[in-house]
Amino acid sequence: MVMQGGKQFIALGSRLLNIPEVLTLGVKPNFLDYTPRERELIDAANLILFPTVGYAQFFNTMGKTIFPSLETYLYADEKIMQTTLFYLQKINHPRTIFYYPRHHNDILKNFAFPFVGKIPRRSAQGRGVFLIRNGDDLGKYLSLTKIAYIQEYVPHEKDLRVILINYDPVLAYWRFRKKGNFRANIFQGGRISFDHIPLEGIALARKAAIKCRFDDVGMDLIQHKNNWYLIEANMKYGRKGLQMKGLDIKQLIRRKLLSGEISSAGRLRVTH
């Protein structure tokens, strides 16, 4: 498809703003807010980049190829949905149970201290994640959320972050937790290391991403007693590790676009 200005691809969201081959139309709340020419471009496009959660499902219903995938949008910041998907896909995940208010009294029937409580939605960057050591901790946590997301505590000093673009692992690094903090997130004072990255962990992250159809994601895993656990998928993964390695996410995606790896046809070619 030939587009205005010689650009080859269209995007709605701003992730690829200023990439010369991409025409970014912006995200407009009403489809009719787009000009007639912009609507023609959207209608003619086989591939639409970063459609945002507001438009992803519509384009998917129309049969258009989108990047990232619809699943990448639907499961973002949705811990309950992610956990259910991991279990359905037989992905190793710490034992986790959700409790609605009438069942909060059952938590201590199923879990012994310490265990982890999380805010089920919108708790990225380590926020909304609590190590619950006693009844007081549990009471404070339950005052913050109606739906209790309770997970077994798997002891660890570090976790493995694997960033995948179109299911391709572009970077992996350890995140060591800060002393006195059980969370290893960089925003919680965690430290990044690129030393001795296990190929097994990268392979497991890729396999899980393919199963879940997460194609623009940071997968977080921990290893305990020779077992790997997928903790969660982060669609709003940080850029610190990429920056430390001198990697530009826009240029990474650009190269995959120009090589045809991300395309209306290439999006379906995934090597298992």
For 135-187, what is each residue's pLDDT tens digit? 999 999 999 999 999 999 999 999 999 999 999 999 999 999 877 556 556 55
Q: Are the folds of 95-152 and 158-258 the same? A: no
pTM: 0.92
Lowest mean pLDDT among 43-52, 64-73, 167-176, 189-198: 189-198
**Structure confidence at residue 70 (pLDDT):** 98
How far is Cα 36 from Cα 38, in angstroms, rounded to an integer? Answer: 5
Neighbours of 251 (CB within 10 A): 10
- Residue type at 76? A
From residue 141, how far is each of 104, 106, 108, 135 by CA, in Å?
A: 11, 15, 14, 10
Quick one: 95-152 is in which CATH superfamily?
ATP-grasp fold, A domain (3.30.1490.20)
CATH topology of domain 158-258: D-amino Acid Aminotransferase; Chain A, domain 1 (3.30.470)
Q: With bands split at pLDDT 50, 70 and 90, how would you rate the model's confidence at 190? A: confident
Among the listed residues 178, 172, 177, 179, the one whose alpha carbon sits nearest the alpha carbon of residue 195: 172
Q: With bands split at pLDDT 50, 70 and 90, how would you rate the model's confidence at 268? A: very low
Contact 187, 39 (CB under 8 A): no
- What the block records as the tokens of 54 is 């507001």
- What the block records as the tokens of 12 is 């709605």
**Structure confidence at residue 261 (pLDDT):** 95
Contact 151, 118 (CB under 8 A): yes
Domain parsing of the chain, residue ranges: 4-67, 95-152, 158-258
For 35-60, what is each residue's pLDDT tens digit? 999 999 999 999 999 999 999 999 99
